[in-house]
Structure 1
Amino acid sequence: MRIAVSAYPPSNGTPVPADQLAAPFGAGRGGRLEESGAGLVQPTDWRRHGATALRYRWWILGLAALGTLGGTAAGRLLPPRYQVQATIWIQSSEPRGGTSRGPIGANQLFESYAWGELLKSYVVLDEVARERRLYLAPQHGWAGAFAGFTVSDTYRPGRYRVVVDGTGRNFRLAGAGGEGLQEGAIGDSVGAALGFRWVPTAAVLPAGSDLTFTVRPLRDAARQLGNALTVTMDQGGNFLRVGLTGADPAHTAATVNAVAQRSVAVGAELKRAKLNQLGKLLDEQRQSARENLQRAESALEQLQVTVGPDLGAAPVPPGGGPPLGTLLGPKLEQEQLRRDRDAIEQVLVQMRDSGGSPDGLAFIGAVQRSPDVSQALRELTTKQAERRALASKYTDDHPAVQRLIGEIELLERGTVPTLAQSLIDELTARERVLAPQVAAADRDLRRIPQRAIEEARRRRDVDLATNLYTSVQQRYDEARLAEASSVADVRILDAAVPPQESLGNSTLRFIVLGLAAGLGLGLVGAVVGDRLDPRMRYPEQVTRQMGLPILGVLPHVKDRGAGPNDEHVIHVIEAMRSVRLSLIHFYGGNGPVVVTVTSPGIGDGKSFLSANLALACAEAGQPTLLIDGDARRGGLHRALRRPRKPGLTDCLAGAAPLEGVTQTTMYPCLDFIGAGSRFRDSPELLGSPAMVELLERVRSQYRVVLVDSPPLGSGVDPYTLGTLTGNLLLVLRTGTTNLALARTKLTVLDHLPIRLLGVVLNDVRPGGMYRYYSYLSGYATTNEREGYAVAGRQARGVL
């Protein structure tokens, strides 16, 4: 919705097109302003929130008091809470570049932060919930009867009721709906078909007993325990603190200790499984290395059988010269480098094309001699063993397993291929370095028997295969030794102990929480209520949302009958002078000021403004005429103490002349025309040619003509009078006027030749958002001595 605001410049009475006016307070051209929130992000108005809190202060204080009482009651009625804590020591992990040939079992199973996730995993919590019977919730006062209650691996959760007959010999087990589930004699197993293991005696279930108990799913009990646990770790990652708060200190301490013990046991079990899987992987590599060694030895043996025994370990070529080892070394090394490079490239191609494993790299001599690639492969083997170990306890969706899968994927697809490609580049560079040496020895090598060269090559293959097998065998032995002598990476440093004192002063804590909750609820409710309040309360609602200027602000008057020396009356009179000044200069032009005064609804104070503004204009020496245009229920005659009829409607109906309805008042320069007799067709009279003629006649006689009209919501009368006068002054009352109604009624002005001059705010209380609209005390006007006064003027109050 848009509200049109036009204006006349103060220099003359010629209207200016609306699209050439500078709109107030950020409005668009033509003085139009969109409603609040239409594409504009308004900053938080803390002054408005403060005024809202002040207005709803009693509600806020009441809610704060209610919250305090609630906190006091909670602190007295709720049982005390006890907090227990256990500390778990975590072995520090070794750096990545540390010892790679030591026992694999010495490495840590998890990173430090992962132990907290393990502690809250269901493999730990499910067992603790079963051990501590956290799934059981007996009726208050009957905990002793369930001392031996346990459940099987599969049971039926629910709410149950046990009733013992008057003889104390028989019992009946029923479900939540009252359906019978079992009947038997005391001493029999109760709920065996439901998965319960409970054999209560007559001592714990006397005659006439009637009790209920709830058995929850084990996973729900474990989930609740995990949510209640507080797990923190120091910055170094060496100490894991497990805390729990409960009403029973002994039970809470036992639960925390059970969680700590179960997490340590699971950690040790997982580490043993990891070492076992690592041993299996190394055993597979050991078998492959043994087969590789056997193939190399068989090839050498076959050569010796085929061509006969070697004539010497280091024969000398004919004609003298370097021994065979010196000549053959570079060539054999070059060939070995080429074979290793080809083997590495083949493995990389298989990994890239078919997603193969990089395990084949471990049997290549160049890879064994490369510290970076060997370390990466050992780390990959360790991660794969850890994943296999965790797979026995967790699914692939568990965070620890997901983390290992990501690390293995990074090693297989990122780290190992990158390091292997770097190794290929190094081997290629080494081949280029050896090429000149091999070329220089080719002449002497041609004179050496080919059998000697081939035998030297195969002996070299045997040596490399032997070294590989020895290395893998050593790692395999170390892994088995580590599995046999493994110790857990974590251990309980401080067990939980039942405390003797509860958590501080719980009553005071509940009181503070209740007070804070009450205050917060009161403040939030006040802000929400203010946002939903349809009534006008703040000047920004007029200037920003409606796009209208404020011509004046009228303060609240406690007693309208008070004399001229009353402070509130003095402020009202001063405010009327301000409205008079703003109206005359905003109206503009040299002709008389003819304005219709109206408001959106009843009780906004339009008649109060009309009477006192007319009086203010008259006191300024301007001939003023006040017309009561509210022909339906006008009451200005009572404020001026003049008769209502004959009045305006009588003149318009031809029953009385204008001179006969124009009344003088007790105030100089102020004349008055009452509403006149009540007519059913008074709206037609207000729009008749007689009304036009009346306004034309009074324009030539008075400088100010104020027409008090009915409210905008009453009918067409205010629009008719506004069209005749051409100007409209709107009165809004803080805390009373409905802004939605005002905006709706003002949309009609877009289609009528009416200039909306501005708004006068009525009944404004001092302080808050309007504190800057008030007037300073001590500046009231007084007569210096008795008899000092302007001729024809007298002290007055408000009408």
Structure 2
Amino acid sequence: MTDAIDTNDASGLPTPAGQPNRQLALPRDRPLSTEVSPPENGDGGDEISLLDYWRVIVKRRWTVLATLAIVLVTALVGTLLMTPIYRASVTLQIERDTMQVVQVEGFTPEESGVGGDFYMTQYELLKSRSLAQRVISELDLENDPAYQAMTAPSPWKALFGSGGGDEDTVVDAAVAEAAESDRQSAMITAFLNRLSVEPVRNSRLVRVHFDSPDAAFSQRVINALAEAFIASNLERRFEASSYAKTYLEERLEQLKIKLEDSEKELVAFAQRERIVDSSNGTPLPAQSLAELNTALAKAQDERIRAEARWRQAEAASGMGLSSVLGSTIIQTLQETRAGLQAQYQEKLSVFKPAFPEMQQLQAQIDELDRLIATEVANIKLSIRAEYQAALAQEQLLRNQINTVKDEVLDLQSRSIQFNILRREVDTNRQQYEALLQRYKEIGVAGGVGTNNISIVDSAERPRFAHSPSLGLNLAIGLLLGLFLGILLAFLFELIDDSLKSPEDIERLLGQSVLGVIPRLKAPMTPAQALADPRSAFAEAYRSVRTALQFSTDTGVPRCLLVTSATPSEGKSTTALTLARNFAELGKRVLIIDGDLRNPSLHRMISSDNSTGLSNYLAGAAKAVDVIRPTDVPNLSFMPTGPLPPNPAELLMGAKMVALVRVASEKYDQVIIDGPPVMGLADAPILANMASGTLLIVEAGSTRISVARNALKRLYAARAHVIGALLTKYSSKQGGYAYGGYSYYSYGASGETQKQLGTR
């Protein structure tokens, strides 16, 4: 070493001239609290965006693709191993109302124009167990080999079934009957499981399907089902008609007997009480009373009119009566008198009244006046006679009515029971006639076919299998595989509690990220990557060097400890690379291998490790004797030397404090490659001595809890942690696009990018 040395301190390290020998004053900005909490900023720690979901999927893409491939292969193999199923279909037309040859209210079913109750009933009838039992019996499916093969238990069911033994062991008849019933029920259930009903939308058509491994069997069964459904529909209608006729016959016989008994009782009572009914059911006295009342009213009317005429005749002169004026005799006499009077007046001008001829004419006129007066008197007498006759007739009718009233009142007192019996007879007769009419109508309607179901298209033998559908199963497998793959990806991401990105370090550890070191592709080594100064790996460390210059108010800490939570996270590579980068800036740099348990820097520098830090701390050598130059200008190296049995005790001694103090004064930059923090006391001891500590975090490997515990131990040792460095980071594997890392390879040649690309 060429620096001028005036004195040597207790550590044996030369000190530049003019520099006082003083104790190292280390900054202690971090409080004693060992709690590690996220930074207080506006970003919620639990918030996650769609981009975060996409990054998880990209990171776990091989899990998603592997799951998808497994599900697709399973769907493909399962589809190819499935037995092909053939579907035969028949189309039926179901009408709400049948053609009404005769309309019998209450017997012929009527369906309303709204609601789907009718068609839902028909669909359920198509899937009824009774219809299935009928088809099984008609086709003798119990003995059909094809159907027996379809309903046979699967090998798994046969293997894990109850294994009831041979039929010869069944000795109880009830048990045998129950077993047969169970077998029949299972056969019907298997039949219905293969049957499906598909209504045609906005129509009265319905398609009925039957699935089986045998195409001809499916065709035969579904056609038989359609015919059996139509036949059962007709049978239900005929059975309803037959039941109604039988019921009405019984009721008619009962009502006929009841009507005869009530009529006999009515006649006997009428004979006993001498009550005679007219044809309309009204007793004769009452009928006579009604007729007499009518006649009396008429007589009263005639009497009033006659009385009016008579009083008019009495009050008026004879010639003023309307009857007189309307009499043809009076009119004739007046005409004759008028003629004679005219002659008399005519001759009066010639003859005198005493003339015989004039006297004769006067005598004729007087005679005519007498005749007219006599006729008027006769008319008045006839009017009076009419009035008296009407009055007498009215009186007679009144007397007759009074007599009949007495008879009617007497009859009413005796006809109370008679009316009760008569009403009972009328009621029984009405019921009998109504039921008789109903019986005749049902008899006519029951003989007319009322089928409302017809076959539109009979089933044809299917030529292609209906299921399994390879395309459909693969589509379902694709969707299911994607869903399961993404689900597993998020599950693995949830289980994985490692630090994967710079955002994780800032959010979960509360530390600023000073840089991101990319992962190298095998078999690329750090030395090979650093050999190319324009590689992304080298650029990343130069970026860290720049970030360190702004990590504190005074720039890069004079003594920087590089450590990690666990081994093999890249701390030794980081320490050596940073030392070389600072040396390239013209700074005098000393790198100390402080890992007295598993040193590695001497191998990376290709230096001798026979003596070193352990010898100095044990007092066997001076510091100047164990510091070695390197092939990098301005860079010196202190190896660990022989591994001591008590590293922590050596590091806690005064010699290590003196070494750090004096080295920080003599060199522009001192970098200590420390041991891992967890499980050892070495790193906290060195962190307390150093003016700054850089925590190395391996992306995707360092667990969150481990990193937090490491920070707690460092804070407990009053270490000044200036930040963290994320190593072995792959943006593709992590699923994150870290902006700074994207530009590390800017300007590099294509070949260099290919060799130094990350994964």
In the superposition, the TM-score normalised over structure 1's length comes to 0.55
Shift of 1:487: 3.3
1:119 aligns with 2:126: yes
Identity of aligned residues (%): 25
Shift of 1:630: 1.1
1:494 aligns with 2:457: yes
Q: Residues of 2 paired with 1:100 and 1:44: CA distance?
A: 74
**Higher mean Cα deviation, 739-748 or 728-737?**
739-748
Q: Name the CA shift for 1:181/1:82 in 2 (closer, same or farther; >3 Å).
A: closer
Residue 51 of structure 1 corresponds to 58
Q: Structure 1 unaligned runs (5+)?
A: 1-10, 160-174, 184-191, 197-213, 324-447, 783-799
Look up the SS of the partner of 2:562 in the other structure.
strand
- Per-residue CA distance 1:169-217 (angstroms, 9 max, x = gap): xxxxxx997977679xxxxxxxx99989xxxxxxxxxxxxxxxxx9993
Q: Which has the higher contact order (CA 8 A, sep 6+)?
A: 2
Question: Which residue identity does 1:258 align to in structure 2?
Answer: A
Q: Is the 8 A contact 2:97 2:110 kept in 1?
A: no
1:676 aligns with 2:680: no
Look up the SS of the partner of 2:54 in the other structure.
helix
Q: Residues of 1 paired with 2:465 and 2:258: CA distance?
A: 69
Equivalences for 1:753-768 in 2 at 5 Å? Answer: 753-754=718-719, 757-765=722-730, 767=732
1:554 aligns with 2:490: no
Shift of 1:678: 0.6
Q: Is the 8 A contact 1:129 1:218 kept in 2?
A: no
1:717 aligns with 2:689: no
Q: Residues of 1 paired with 2:41 and 2:58: CA distance?
A: 22
Equivalences for 1:322-333 in 2 at 5 Å? Answer: none
Look up the SS of the partner of 1:649 in the other structure.
helix
Q: Structure 2 unaligned runs (5+)?
A: 1-26, 156-160, 276-281, 298-407, 750-759
Q: Residues of 2 paired with 1:110 and 1:66: CA distance?
A: 46
Q: Residues of 1 paired with 2:288 and 2:525: CA distance?
A: 131
Look up the SS of the partner of 1:632 in the other structure.
coil
Q: Residues of 2 paired with 1:85 and 1:685: CA distance?
A: 92
Q: Residues of 2 paired with 1:717 and 1:284: CA distance?
A: 113
Residue 91 of structure 1 corresponds to 95
Query: RMSD value over aligned CA atoms?
Result: 6.1
Question: Which residue identity does 1:694 align to in structure 2?
Answer: L
Shift of 1:636: 1.4
Shift of 1:277: 7.6
- Per-residue CA distance 1:194-246 (angstroms, 9 max, x = gap): 989xxxxxxxxxxxxxxxxx999333343333333332111235112122343
Question: Which residue identity does 1:677 align to in structure 2?
Answer: P
Look up the SS of the partner of 1:492 in the other structure.
strand
Q: Residues of 2 paired with 1:550 and 1:694: CA distance?
A: 29
Q: Residues of 2 paired with 1:285 and 1:41: CA distance?
A: 82
1:613 aligns with 2:578: yes
Question: Which residue identity does 2:96 align to in structure 1?
Answer: S
In the superposition, the TM-score normalised over structure 2's length comes to 0.58
Shift of 1:292: 13
Residue 227 of structure 1 corresponds to 193
Residue 632 of structure 1 corresponds to 597
Q: Name the CA shift for 1:105/1:616 in 2 (closer, same or farther; >3 Å).
A: same
Q: Name the CA shift for 1:45/1:710 in 2 (closer, same or farther; >3 Å).
A: same
Look up the SS of the partner of 2:742 in the other structure.
coil
1:260 aligns with 2:226: yes
**How many aligned positions are there?**
576
Shift of 1:498: 1.3
Q: Residues of 2 paired with 1:68 and 1:562: CA distance?
A: 48
Q: Residues of 2 paired with 1:765 and 1:47: CA distance?
A: 16
Equivalences for 1:125-204 in 2 at 5 Å? Answer: 125-129=132-136
Q: Is the 8 A contact 2:133 2:188 kept in 1?
A: yes
- Per-residue CA distance 1:681-740 (angstroms, 9 max, x = gap): 012222334434433444445565433222344533334433444754333334544556
Q: Name the CA shift for 1:178/1:669 in 2 (closer, same or farther; >3 Å).
A: same
Q: Is the 8 A contact 1:570 1:780 kept in 2?
A: no
Residue 243 of structure 1 corresponds to 209
Residue 651 of structure 1 corresponds to 616
Residue 775 of structure 1 corresponds to 742
Q: Name the CA shift for 1:678/1:120 in 2 (closer, same or farther; >3 Å).
A: same
Look up the SS of the partner of 2:528 in the other structure.
coil
Q: Is the 8 A contact 1:286 1:469 kept in 2?
A: yes
Q: 1:592 aligns with which of 535, 557, 572?
A: 557
Q: Name the CA shift for 1:588/1:13 in 2 (closer, same or farther; >3 Å).
A: farther
Question: Which residue identity does 1:775 align to in structure 2?
Answer: S
- Per-residue CA distance 1:25-53 (angstroms, 9 max, x = gap): 8778xxxx6xx8xxx88868442354245
Question: Which residue identity does 1:232 align to in structure 2?
Answer: E
Q: Residues of 1 paired with 2:197 and 2:643: CA distance?
A: 84
Question: Which residue identity does 1:493 align to in structure 2?
Answer: V
Q: Residues of 1 paired with 2:436 and 2:668: CA distance?
A: 118
Q: Residues of 1 paired with 2:249 and 2:507: CA distance?
A: 82
Question: Which residue identity does 1:576 align to in structure 2?
Answer: Y
Q: Name the CA shift for 1:550/1:134 in 2 (closer, same or farther; >3 Å).
A: farther
Q: Residues of 1 paired with 2:221 and 2:646: CA distance?
A: 89
Please tell me whether Structure 1 or Structure 2 has the larger radius of gyration of its CA atoms: 2
Whichever structure has more helix as a proportion of its residues is: 2
Q: Name the CA shift for 1:469/1:541 in 2 (closer, same or farther; >3 Å).
A: farther
Equivalences for 1:38-437 in 2 at 5 Å? Answer: 45-52=52-59, 54-55=61-62, 59=66, 63=70, 70=77, 75=80, 81-92=85-96, 101=105, 103-107=107-111, 111-129=118-136, 217-236=183-202, 238-270=204-236
Question: Which residue identity does 1:115 align to in structure 2?
Answer: Q
- Per-residue CA distance 1:651-693 (angstroms, 9 max, x = gap): 3223333444444444455443322321010122223344344
